[in-house]
Amino acid sequence: MSGGPAVNGGPTAGGGLSTNGGLSTNGGPGVSGGPTVHGDLAELRERARAVLDPAHYDYYAGGVGDEVVLGENEAAFRRLALLPRVLRGRATRDLAVDLPGGRLALPVLVAPTAFHRLAHPDGELATARAAAAAGTVLVSGVASTVAIAEVVAAAREVDAGAAVWFQLYPHPEHDVTACLVRRAERAGCTALVVTADSPVFGRHRRDAEHGFHDLPEGLAAENMRDLPGGPPGGTRDIAMSPAVSWADLDRLRALTSLPVWLKGVLHPRDAVLAVEHGAAGVVVSNHGGRQCDLVPAAVDALPAVVEAVAGRVPVLLDGGVRGGGDVAVALALGAAAVGVGRPVLWGLAAAGEAGVARVLDLLRDEFDHVLALCGGRDPADLTRDLVVPRGTGVSARCG
């Protein structure tokens, strides 16, 4: 799995021969205080498959339609190669990046995914603790099974300076959106992420086959409780609406002084509109292949968005990131950082907080290693000329 003994491995030893070890927990101190979990991402995924109800595993794993985009997100990374630079004399590495809404100790954050208590009883509390311990941001979804105030509190118990962002869909009823924004602010979130790629729900065949349409008894979308127009004490549905427009983004921004990211941008023109409408940044994403099965892989859509934004705001990418090499490629193509969705769910299902810690530690360690192999000192050393189409070895731009 990992290549040879740890030779000057930088911040972590990482690459030694002893890292194998399956999924056993050894009871020693983990990154965030729990047991240390071994195993790579593929093993964690297999463990998750073994422990989860098949309907819940398929809910997490699945995509829209024929799942073309789901596969393409990962395949597109494998069509790209890195052209390392050598002898750059970078003795140390610093993986941190500063973004509107917080500093990340590694250029990887936790993308918003729904219903973590389907994966593990600790749900989003475990994810928040592991993200905080790793020094990165959890983007906590409106569709979380723990209320946002508790999610932020869990992160802050681990690290008083931890940053948690709140993801929401602009609700067709503005007072519902306003209430959600207020809850996120009161909870202490440091940024909002507005998901724009879901005017309608994606149609997921796996969910239909399992008849999986409702959360099990005892679980609910806790942020949707006690909202205007909803039953007292009960929850409202997470509404998606094709009527949502840029005017809704303007109205949402007017409610808050928090940075607002726009997630689910693929068209360069929309990225420009996002900047013009005051977005603090854009997230290039096809929702992990769960919305439209006709769109490009996320990493294939990235360069045109980066070019259109032209450095005015940071660009994030999510979709198909499965290793530190993918992180490096995305950064070289202009992403400031990447989000990971499913790998975090596999870690959570396999081993709760320690499993999520393992996923983030693997990505940090692999990214650090690849950065070193590229002669990089920090993410800024990963430039566009370092990425070439696999099979060519020729850089589009040499300079």
Ligand X SMILES: Cc1cc2nc3c(=O)[nH]c(=O)nc-3n(C[C@H](O)[C@H](O)[C@H](O)COP(=O)(O)O)c2cc1C
Ligand Y SMILES: O=C(O)C(=O)c1ccccc1
Binding site for ligand X (CB under 6 A): 59-60, 73, 111-114, 141, 143, 167, 195, 263, 285, 287-288, 290, 318-321, 339-342
Half-sphere exposure of 378 (CA within 13 A, CB side): 8
Amino acid (1-letter code) at residue 15? G
CA–CA gap between residue 86 and residue 88 (Å, rounded): 6
Tell which one of 290, 322, 364, 369 touches ligand Y (CB under 6 A).
290
| Least distance in angstroms from the C-beta of 27 to ligand X | 30
Residues 221-240: x where in contact with ligand Y by CB under 6 A, - otherwise, as a string: -----------------x--
| Contacts for 254 with CB less than 8 Å, ≥ 6 apart | none
| Least distance in angstroms from the C-beta of 290 to ligand Y | 4
Contact between 132 and 102 under an 8 Å Cβ cutoff? The reply is: no
Pick from ligand X, ligand Y, none: which does 320 bind, CB < 5 to 8 A by kind?
A: ligand X
What tokens were used for 368? 């650090």
DSSP 8-state symbol, 171? P
Q: Does 148 bind ligand Y (CB under 6 A)?
A: no
Closer by beta carbon to ligand Y, 124 or else 361: 124
Contact between 130 and 353 under an 8 Å Cβ cutoff? The reply is: yes
Contact between 205 and 55 under an 8 Å Cβ cutoff? The reply is: no
**Catalytic status, residue 56:** no
- DSSP assignment of 268-311 equals HHHHHHHHHTT-SEEEE--GGGTS-TTSPPHHHHHHHHHHHHTT
Catalytic one of 120, 204, 287, 369: 287
| Least distance in angstroms from the C-beta of 393 to ligand X | 28
Amino acid (1-letter code) at residue 87? L
Q: Does 143 bind ligand Y (CB under 6 A)?
A: yes
Closer by beta carbon to ligand X, 36 or else 145: 145
Pick from ligand Y, ligand X, none: which does 341 bind, CB < 5 to 8 A by kind?
A: ligand X
Q: Does 219 bind ligand Y (CB under 6 A)?
A: no
Tell which one of 69, 114, 357, 374 touches ligand Y (CB under 6 A).
114
The residue whose Cβ lies closest to ligand X is 341
Pick from ligand Y, ligand X, none: which does 340 bind, CB < 5 to 8 A by kind?
A: ligand X
Half-sphere exposure of 9 (CA within 13 A, CB side): 16
Helix, strand, coil percentages, rounded to 5, for the chain: 40, 15, 45
Closer by beta carbon to ligand Y, 45 or else 290: 290
Residues that are catalytic: 287
Please give the residue ranges that form the binding site for ligand Y (CB under 6 A). 114, 143, 238, 287, 290
